[in-house]
Amino acid sequence: MRLSRCLRSVNKMLEYYSGFNPSPLSIKQFIDFGKAASEQQSFIFLRQEVPVRLANIMREIQLLPESLLTQPSCRTVCEWYMQSFNDILRFEETGPPTDSVLRDFCETLITIRNRHSSVVQTMAEGVIEMKQSVKLDTSTENNIQYFLDRFYMSRISIRMLINQHTLLFGKQRKEAGVGQVGCIDPFCNVVHVIEDAAANARFLCDRYYLASPEIEITQVNGEWGAGQVTQVNGEWGAGQITQVNGEWGAGQITQVNGEWGAGQITQVNGEWGAGQITQVNAMVAPDAGSSSDSDGGVQSPITLVYVPSHLYHILFELLKNSMRAVVEHYPDTSDFPPIQLLVVNGKEDLTIKVSTGGPHSHLTVKVST
């Protein structure tokens, strides 16, 4: 009888919290909150936001086909989410948070995160179990894939909230990197993350195949930085340089305030619009973290505001799969073509192109900046 009442109570709370939409949060809001907020403010926000996000995805799970819901792995995932929902509800009616309540809350968040550490693999096992027992039509497969996309995105968002709180206010606060705000790095060095991901992917490839292809990284920083226009004499009016060829090593300017030939400009000391350009394509001394381009020029490192662990995970999976494809495509040689990565920092986004050498063997990843 008591168990039945508890289940009715949980279902009632599930219905209540699923009626709210999750609060949309940007990285800027995460950073601003992390720099100025107190642990009490974070506690008050998360004790409402985490149940809302859990309840919404749990409602979607209930809409899955019965053939998936009855699989052992899927039932395990449902039990994890129900347990986590119950754990966080303990703090719903807590009054002004004391130090002990805040510690308990932080430990509860860590418990929830650890409990859900293998959700991706377990849910995948459930889908495999279903496909082995039931023949699916195309429509059902598409619906399940749509759910999985939303399910995994919801999981990422919940872990992001938990990681921010535990890194800012918990015992893990010392684990955050220098200059980071929780798990967000305002100056995440993209090439450094690529190099870490490539090193670990090569390690796995070497262990399994006893060989691995090399990685070649080329970066083009589209921002006005070191080595691009190093000196401008006078006011620099809007719209004077409207398009610039990314090959800064050769110093090419293909369009300047209108049509301009494809020739190179290495030095111009005449009047141009509102100001004078006294030097273009000059060499500057590299500073720490700068990198040379293929023509010997110096570029400032490509950085962006991002979660390094997320970027690492994406790149590691891409590079691991790329290395496997290259090694298996050339089984009779150890002289593999290199995997080429082109990193381009644009005005609105960052593009990483991974190419394994064939005419259709490349993949492009865009990251909003």
> Which residues are tagged catalytic?
313, 317, 320-321
Contact residues for 184 (Cβ-Cβ < 8 A; gap 6+): 27, 30, 31, 34, 164, 305, 306, 307
Task: For residues 81 and 97, give the distance between their C-alpha atoms in angstroms, rounded to a whole number.
Answer: 25
Residue 214 DSSP class: -
Task: For residues 127 and 41, give the distance between their C-alpha atoms in angstroms, rounded to a whole number.
Answer: 39
Contact residues for 255 (Cβ-Cβ < 8 A; gap 6+): 241, 242, 243, 244
**Pairing status of strand 215-221 against strand 339-345:** parallel
Task: For residues 325 and 345, give the distance between their C-alpha atoms in angstroms, rounded to a whole number.
Answer: 27
Q: Which amino acid is at 17?
A: Y
User: Is the distance from CB of 109 to CB of 164 less than 8 angstroms?
Assistant: no
Please provide the DSSP assignment of 335-359 as one string. Answer: -PPPEEEEEEE-SSEEEEEEE-SST
Q: Which amino acid is at 13?
A: M
Task: For residues 329 and 325, give the distance between their C-alpha atoms in angstroms, rounded to a whole number.
Answer: 6
Task: For residues 256 and 248, give the distance between their C-alpha atoms in angstroms, rounded to a whole number.
Answer: 15
Q: Which amino acid is at 7?
A: L
Task: For residues 53 and 151, give the distance between their C-alpha atoms in angstroms, rounded to a whole number.
Answer: 11
